[in-house]
Amino acid sequence: MEERGSPDGDLARSLEQGPEGPETPIQVVLRVRPMSAAELRRGQQSVLHCSGTRTLQVSPPGGGPEVAFRFGAVLDAARTQEDVFRACGVRRLGELALRGFSCTVFTFGQTGSGKTYTLTGPPPQGEGVPVPPSLAGIMQRTFAWLLDRVQHLGAPVTLRASYLEIYNEQVRDLLSLGSPRPLPVRWNKTRGFYVEQLRVVEFGSLEALMELLQTGLSRRRNSAHTLNQASSRSHALLTLYISRQTAQQMPSVDPGEPPVGGKLCFVDLAGSEKVAATGSRGELMLEANSINRSLLALGHCISLLLDPQRKQSHIPFRDSKLTKLLADSLGGRGVTLMSPVAKQPQRLETEMLQLQEENRRLQFQLDQMDCKASGLSGARVAWAQRNLYGMLQEFMLENERLRKEKSQLQNSRDLAQNEQRILAQQVHALERRLLSACYHHQQGPGLTPPCPCLMAPAPPCHALPPLYSCPCCHICPLCRVPLAHWACLPGEHHLPQVLDPEASGGRPPSARPPPWAPPCSPGSAKCPRERSHSDWTQTRVLAEMLTEEEVVPSAPPLPVRPPKTSPGLRGGAGVPNLAQRLEALRDQIGSSLRRGRSQPPCSEGARSPGQVLPPH
């Protein structure tokens, strides 16, 4: 990571300027504490190197390239408490608090890394032994600066303080008049999260504030464990409420409620710890779990707040009492200074070795997973190439082939329909000629045969049993309607039904249209004259009667089902057949006419349809 300027050259200016990035609501300053006497006795060496005023470099214990981390400010082990106070930019936070902002300073780090020392200095070395002023922490120095600042303000300022700790997710008042008891955390619209019945003490002098601080420190939960003889087991929050009063603006302060105005909050977080490393058991372990959980929640909220992509997303302040009480400082009009303190070199070294080992293991697992995944994806790609792509090509070819076939079929169908229409006209003409020949044969020559449809209508005929049961086949060959029953020649056999019952449309006689009914419009669903497949059958029967041969229909008008064979062959095969039949019909008609002229008219008697036109 690139570093600007020389460390010594920048230090003085950096200390005065405070942490880099004044626009950022959360500033981070790192302090490396000196190695303890115990660590030096064990011959441990520091792996932390401050490079310049903002970069920390960590040397891997096993060698290899250094890892660099950048902060708003980095303070090495040689820096004094005063250096830290100046470099942290707390005075800037104090100014913001005087203007009504909520500002927070908190220390974060592993247990024993020096958080409490940085904030409040070392603990007294004995009863009645005062801590030297040079070792006073950020809090005492800020108190002194603030009270001095307030004295020089033109307007009166009210200063109050509260001090609480969160121990095992319970809020305890460190300034309570009696023994501390758990207090509930509430929320309302105007105040946000707040601790009910928390004692807020007004003070007017530095001595009074220092006394409050000492009271709270003495009440705070401490325990000894392997890594720290005076380890804080709770998160401690000391809040200063700053109310500036002007002539026009007098704050109405309800008893027991903090005044409206700026806030400056100091948070001494309990240290994160590995239970195995601290050797915590029983109550210590419970405390450690609670501490770690709440620190996790805090870390989550901070990371969300710092993520520019997630500015509008929900921040889970409700996940812990700590984050609830810091919600206003972190997420509202808050400005925060964070002072993480570097871990001791020996623990850092051990942890790095563990992390490197874990890293190697994870890398190995990742490589294996990559191998499997790449093998899997390669097989998928091959499968897709072999199958999907091939199938697609096949579908495209098939599609193309079907398109061509469809086009050929359409042409073939059009051709067949044309031929069918022409042949139907020819059949029709031949039928008329045939009918005429029969009429002349029966009634004698010289008479013009009327169209059977125009023969005298016979209403009773339609009242008779269905005519299709009459095998006389007196169906008008033009309009396909059964003729009146009187048209049957006397003595004709009423043979068993040979015509398709659907020849009359499957309708009862009364429902059938009279023969002289006008032709319907094509396509009408109720069209009584619509030619159906049975019409075709009827025609075929008629043709067979005429020819005494089986007639193979070349192109039925409306096939009942789609043919299995290619429609392209339908008309093509049938048309020559029908053409031949037509030719045969012509021959038969001609010979029939010739024979009819030489024979006497039909006499009464049974006559089969085949006898109408004797075989050629």
Q: Tell me how far apart the alpha carbons of residues 435 and 473 are, in angstroms, rounded to a whole number.
A: 12
**Residue 271 in the binding site for ligand ATP (CB under 6 A):** yes
List 44, 59, 102, 228, residue binding ligand ATP (CB under 6 A): 228
Cβ 117 to ligand ATP, closest distance in Å? Answer: 4
How near is the Cβ of 45 to ligand ATP at its closest, in Å? 18
CA 34/CA 560 separation, integer angstroms: 101
What are the beta bridge partners of residue 339? 107
Residue 345 sits in the site that holds ligand ATP (CB under 6 A): no
Closest contact distance (angstroms) between CB of 86 and ligand ATP is: 15
Among 7, 100, 122, 556, binds ligand ATP (CB under 6 A): 122
Query: 227 vs 335, which CB is nearer to ligand ATP?
Result: 227
Identified binder of ligand ATP from the candidate list 52, 72, 114, 334, rule CB under 6 A? 114
The residue number whose beta carbon is nearest to ligand ATP equals: 271
Query: Coil, strand, or helix at residue 474?
Result: coil
Q: How many CA atoms lie less than 13 Å away from 609 in the CB half-sphere?
A: 20
What residues does 35 pair with on adjacent strands?
none
Exactly one of 111, 280, 323, 329 binds ligand ATP (CB under 6 A); that residue is: 111
Q: Which is nearer to ligand ATP, 79 or 462 (CB)?
A: 79
When the beta carbons of 121 and 553 are compared against ligand ATP, the nearer one is 121
Closest CA relative to residue 599, chosen from 473, 489, 445? 445
Residue 388 lies near ligand ATP (rule: CB under 6 A): no
Could you say whether residue 570 binds ligand ATP (CB under 6 A)? no
505 backbone φψ class: left, alpha, beta (φ>0; ψ -120 to 50): left
Tell me how far, at minimum, the Cβ of 218 lies from ligand ATP, in Å.
15
Q: Decide if residue 113 touches ligand ATP (CB under 6 A).
A: yes
Distance of CA 209 to the CA centre of its chain: 56
The number of residues that bind ligand ATP (CB under 6 A) is 18
Give the number of other Cβ atoms within 10 Å of residue 65's Cβ.
8
**Least distance to ligand ATP, CB of residue 11, Å:** 17
Residues 229-268 that bind ligand ATP (CB under 6 A): 230-232
> Contacting ligand ATP (CB under 6 A), which of 18, 89, 112, 331?
112
Nearest to 267 by CA among 144, 103, 24: 103
End-to-end CA distance of the chain: 114
Provide the 10 A C-beta neighbour count for residue 214: 13
List Cα–Cα distances, 527 to 150, 482, 491, 524, in angstroms: 107, 16, 35, 5
User: Residue 382 Cβ, how far from ligand ATP at the closest point, in Å?
Assistant: 58
Q: Which amino acid is at 285?
A: M
Q: Hunting for tokens 């009645």 — which residue is that? A: 128
Q: Which is nearer to ligand ATP, 285 or 409 (CB)?
A: 285
Q: CA 37: distance to chain centroid?
A: 58
Residue 34 engages ligand ATP in binding (rule: CB under 6 A): yes
Instruction: Give me the amino acid identity at 444.
Output: G
Residues that bind ligand ATP in the complex, under the rule CB under 6 A: 33-34, 36, 109, 111-117, 122, 228, 230-232, 270-271
